[in-house]
Structure 1
Amino acid sequence: MVEVMIEIEVVYAAVDRQVLLTVAVPVGTSVRAALLRSTVAEEFPELDLTHCPVGIFGKVVADPESRAVQAGDRIEIYRPLLADPKEVRRLRAAKAAEAKARNQ
């Protein structure tokens, strides 16, 4: 019996480079299995594909082991934030207020 294959994309952006891979997987493949089937681990050996947070088209996938991919899905691998966005905004606002006070 012939397995029906679908194409999906796997994307990852490291600090210094990014990659977009097209992967053919059997229908019913889970998100996690599709990641493991891709070559992204060869490109980025530091990634732990069994535990990394992932999403599809910007929406986090809560259970990648059971969520099946669909044709055309783009699986995004998320990396930890380098800085807390709230803290960055607070520092930027403080710097702008300081610059404004100096110019008055």
Structure 2
Amino acid sequence: MAEAAAAAAPLRVEVVFSAAAGQVQEWSLRLPPSARLRDALRAVHLEDSACATGIWGRRAEHDQLLEDGDRVELYRPLLVDPKVARRERFARQGARGAGLFSRQRPGGKAGY
């Protein structure tokens, strides 16, 4: 009996979307037990979004079944490649102001 009641209980799911840096939107939903990722997106009117989707940080397709407690995330495209951003930041700071060698002992050689 308890298994049948648990199977019929609605799923609690969170949907998280950040349209821009510093702007986070979150929705808490209750969906039927057989709900899929697309159902959660449809419930918050984001089913037509071109953003990539995932569950708890792992890419997921729209036909993925949801489980109770899942966190559905929409990922906006990166504006800058993280490797390029790191190189540019390092170039601005210089070799002495970043990384392992930023706290060099007085009089020590570069890189030590």
Q: If the TM-score is normalised by the length of the shorter chain, which range does it land in?
A: 0.7 to 0.9
Pair 1:26 & 2:25 matched: no
Pair 1:59 & 2:58 matched: yes
Secondary structure of 1:87 counterpart? helix
The aligned amino acid for 2:28 is: T
Q: Structure 2 CA distance, aligned partners of 1:12 and 1:48?
A: 13
Secondary structure of 2:94 counterpart? helix
Secondary structure of 1:7 counterpart? strand
Q: Structure 2 CA distance, aligned partners of 1:18 and 1:6?
A: 22
Pair 1:91 & 2:96 matched: no
- TM-score normalized by the length of structure 2: 0.68
Q: 2:69 aligns with which of 64, 69, 72?
A: 72
- TM-score normalized by the length of structure 1: 0.72
Unaligned runs of 5+ in 2: 1-7, 98-112
Q: Sequence identity, in percent?
A: 33
* CA shift in 2, pair 1:73/1:96, >3 Å: same
Unaligned runs of 5+ in 1: 42-46
Give 4+ residue runs of structure 1 displaced > 6 Å after superposition.
none
Pair 1:82 & 2:86 matched: no
Aligned residue pairs total 89
